[in-house]
Amino acid sequence: MQSKFLECEAELGVELSELDLGSSLSQEEIKVIRNLWLKRGVAVFPNQELSHEDLENFSLLFGKFGDDPYLSSLKDRPNIVEVKRSANEKATPFGGSWHSDWSFQVQPPSATFLHSKVIPPVGGDTLFANTQKAYEDLDDETKNKIKDLTVIHSAELPYADDGFYATETEERSMKILPSKKAKEIQSHPLVKIHPETNKECLFINPVYTSYIESMSKEDSFLLLSFLYEHMTQEKYIYRHKWSEDMLVMWDNRTVIHQAEGGYDGHDRLLHRITIS
């Protein structure tokens, strides 16, 4: 196994090559992969021709399958979601706003795995932002202001029965499952301590974070807007460019991400697994 940190001001990303993730890995190899992933937030594995079973088996080395409540999975693989967009599709790219996967859950996913199958020749980058580094760079006054705050998360905005996906007019190749249940709320600390690294991270995102408890709506909006602008500065972002048969895994506890478009007229297909 060879590893190299990706050149990135955000201090995100490690590429791990000369590995066959479809074969058995030693405990030492798994330990090295996990440590590098925790250190860099995003791990990239190029040249991986993985079957569904291979993808599941590798993902399970890092925990149990998570719950993907509002996305339809493959019929024979309930833990694999197809992230796809057809060449003639007019709907916006899925995941096109900054978010941390399923942060509205009681126990949000620790990891997300995305394996590329069909990659267009242009566009389709995924952006990752380092929420740990963004927190570290805040001034002491802001850190003291936010250290004990809790925030409300909800899937209402995208996935409620009257949310974005339920009311969009363009047809979508991905099957979204809107529900009234998406209006349920869950509180989390605004500043979370990573359970494995013990480092503090901003645990908020524009898609699922509704408001800050104990604040007026106006004050909550202003503070969240300030933090979003801060944490999505270019210096905190790693831009990932895809190639086919590439596996990327990221740590939802220390990064937020968003998908870019720019590939109209081309098919795009990836397979996704979340780990609880």
| DSSP at 235 | G
What percent of the chain clears pLDDT 90, i.e. is strictly above it? Answer: 100
- Nearest-angstrom CA–CA distance, 83 and 96: 12
Q: pLDDT-derived band of residue 214, with 50, 70 and 90 as boundaries? A: very high
- The model's pLDDT over 150-171, given as tens digits with 9 standing for 90+, comes to 999 999 999 999 999 999 999 9
Positive or negative: CA dihedral 56, 153, 257, 140: negative
Paired tokens of 212: 């800050």
**Which residues are paired to 275 by β-bridges?**
65, 111
Taking phi first (over 0 means left), then psi (-120 to 50 degrees means alpha), and beta for anything else, what does residue 88 get?
A: alpha
Q: What is the mean pLDDT of residues 86-101?
A: 96
Taking phi first (over 0 means left), then psi (-120 to 50 degrees means alpha), and beta for anything else, what does residue 174 get?
A: beta
**Which residues are paired to 185 by β-bridges?**
154
pLDDT at 65: 98
Please give the backbone phi and psi of residue 184, each rounded to the nearest 5 degrees, phi first: -65, 150
Paired tokens of 131: 């929420």
Paired tokens of 259: 């998908």
Taking phi first (over 0 means left), then psi (-120 to 50 degrees means alpha), and beta for anything else, what does residue 26 get?
A: beta
Q: pLDDT-derived band of residue 61, with 50, 70 and 90 as boundaries? A: very high
Is residue 30 within 8 A of residue 61, CB to CB? The reply is yes
Q: pLDDT-derived band of residue 128, with 50, 70 and 90 as boundaries? A: very high
**Which residues are paired to 259 by β-bridges?**
126
Is residue 45 within 8 A of residue 14, CB to CB? The reply is no
Q: What is the mean pLDDT of residues 227-239?
A: 98
Paired tokens of 263: 């590939």
Q: Which residues of 205-243 are buried (b: 16+ CB within 10 A; e: fewer)?
A: bbbbbbbbeeeeeeebeebbeebbeebbeeebbbebebe
What are the strands of the beta sheet with 185-189, ordered from one edge? 185-189, 150-154, 209-212
- Nearest-angstrom CA–CA distance, 218 and 203: 20
| Closest to 139 in 3D by CA, of 50, 226, 235 | 226
pLDDT at 193: 98
Q: Where are the domains of the chain?
A: 2-275
pLDDT at 215: 96
pLDDT at 95: 95
Averaged confidence pLDDT in the chain: 97
Superfamily of domain 2-275: Clavaminate synthase-like (3.60.130.10)
Paired tokens of 65: 């399958």
Please give the backbone phi and psi of residue 78, each rounded to the nearest 5 degrees, phi first: -65, -10
| Closest to 165 in 3D by CA, of 261, 69, 270, 65 | 69
pLDDT at 208: 98
Please give the backbone phi and psi of residue 171, each rounded to the nearest 5 degrees, phi first: -70, 145
Q: pLDDT-derived band of residue 244, with 50, 70 and 90 as boundaries? A: very high
